[in-house]
Amino acid sequence: MSSQVQPAKWERLFWPVLGTGVLLVLWYYSVRWSGTKVFPSPRDVERGLAELLRHQVLWGDIVDSLRRVAIGYGLAALIGVPLGLTLGWYPAANQVVNPTIQILRPISPIAWIPVAIIFFGVGDKAAIFLIFLGAFFPVVVAGINGVRNVPSVYRRAGRNFGLTPPQLLGRVLFPAALPQILVGLRIALGIAWLVVVAAEMIAVDSGLGFLVIDSRNSGKRYDLVVAAILLIGVIGLILDVAFRRLEKLRSVRWGFRAES
């Protein structure tokens, strides 16, 4: 619910452009007015971005970050979804494992860095491990809740048609829980993206996160810092939007009836 007047179609483009424009102008003028020599103005960032693109290094960094996310997140999904489904299906098992999950979950993946370094040394594998940790818990929790929230009607109907427990899991519970699992997967992807950037600032020497830190450390290139930050935001947004398209598939769309 929001204020009554329905915006016209042209307004759909007008307001976002206006909002962004105003912000850019504010940014530009606050940089000028504050006389800072270090913080970049929008034009500086634009030029910095062009420079990064020209130097080809940028693509390598983007690919590195995405690659780490792909592996860490992929593993988290591959292991987490079946695990979540199983735990949701056997509440007894869930009860047993739950305290452990509840204690491990609030620990920032970054806090695991020293442990990760012991096991994997400094580098890619450590970063992937951290991403895995970050994505794992939301996926499992989504799986558990997804199964738990399947209305008992579906379960009963499945049993009525003579399905064995494994068939019930595959043909009824999994599709019924899928919308919620997808939401969990989408959130986990967002988290994976956050973690990869953070991990790269600390534990590896390539990728977008590293770019942010490196641009500052080697020459106080804040224009590159901000350019990299914005890039991180844009790519993260693209990942999120792409995932949301999955949620529009017809065999899943039913679970997202009340979209706000």
230-249 residues in contact with another protein (CB under 8 A) are 230, 232-237, 239-240
Give min distance, CB of 54 to another protein, in A. Answer: 22
- Alpha helices by DSSP H, 90-170: 91-104, 113-120, 124-148, 152-160, 165-168
User: Residue 218 interacts with another protein (CB under 8 A)?
Assistant: no
- 72 and 135 Cβ atoms separated by less than 8 Å: yes
User: Residue 116 interacts with another protein (CB under 8 A)?
Assistant: no
Question: Which of these segments, 49-57, 59-67, 76-84, 228-236, binds another protein (CB under 8 A)?
Answer: 228-236
Rounded Cα distance between 47 and 54, Å, is: 11
The CA-atom distances, in angstroms, between 259 and each of 144, 211, 239 are 22, 37, 19
User: Residue 32 interacts with another protein (CB under 8 A)?
Assistant: no
Q: What is the CA radius of gyration of the chain?
A: 23
- 47 and 223 Cβ atoms separated by less than 8 Å: yes
User: Residue 92 interacts with another protein (CB under 8 A)?
Assistant: yes
Lookup: tokens for 130: 């951290």
List b or e across 86-101, with b for residues whose CB sees 16 or more CB atoms inside 10 angstroms.
bbbbeeeebeebeeee
User: Residue 216 interacts with another protein (CB under 8 A)?
Assistant: yes
Q: Which of residues 182-211 bind another protein (CB under 8 A)?
A: 190, 193-195, 197-198, 201-202, 209
User: Residue 222 interacts with another protein (CB under 8 A)?
Assistant: yes
User: Residue 123 interacts with another protein (CB under 8 A)?
Assistant: no
User: Residue 213 interacts with another protein (CB under 8 A)?
Assistant: yes
Give min distance, CB of 253 to another protein, in A. Answer: 7
User: Residue 253 interacts with another protein (CB under 8 A)?
Assistant: yes
User: Residue 86 interacts with another protein (CB under 8 A)?
Assistant: no
> Residue from 71, 122, 229, 244 that binds another protein (CB under 8 A)?
229
The CA-atom distances, in angstroms, between 98 and each of 84, 95, 146 are 11, 5, 16
User: Residue 212 interacts with another protein (CB under 8 A)?
Assistant: yes
- 209 and 196 Cβ atoms separated by less than 8 Å: yes
- One DSSP character per residue, 219-251 reads T--HHHHHHHHHHHHHHHHHHHHHHHHHTTSHH
Q: Which of residues 94-113 bind another protein (CB under 8 A)?
A: 95-100, 102-113
Q: Which of residues 147-176 bind another protein (CB under 8 A)?
A: 149, 151, 153-154, 156-157, 159-162, 171-172, 175-176
User: Residue 30 interacts with another protein (CB under 8 A)?
Assistant: no
| Number of neighbouring beta carbons within 10 Å of residue 243 | 17
User: Residue 139 interacts with another protein (CB under 8 A)?
Assistant: no
- 200 and 206 Cβ atoms separated by less than 8 Å: yes
User: Residue 71 interacts with another protein (CB under 8 A)?
Assistant: no
User: Residue 35 interacts with another protein (CB under 8 A)?
Assistant: no
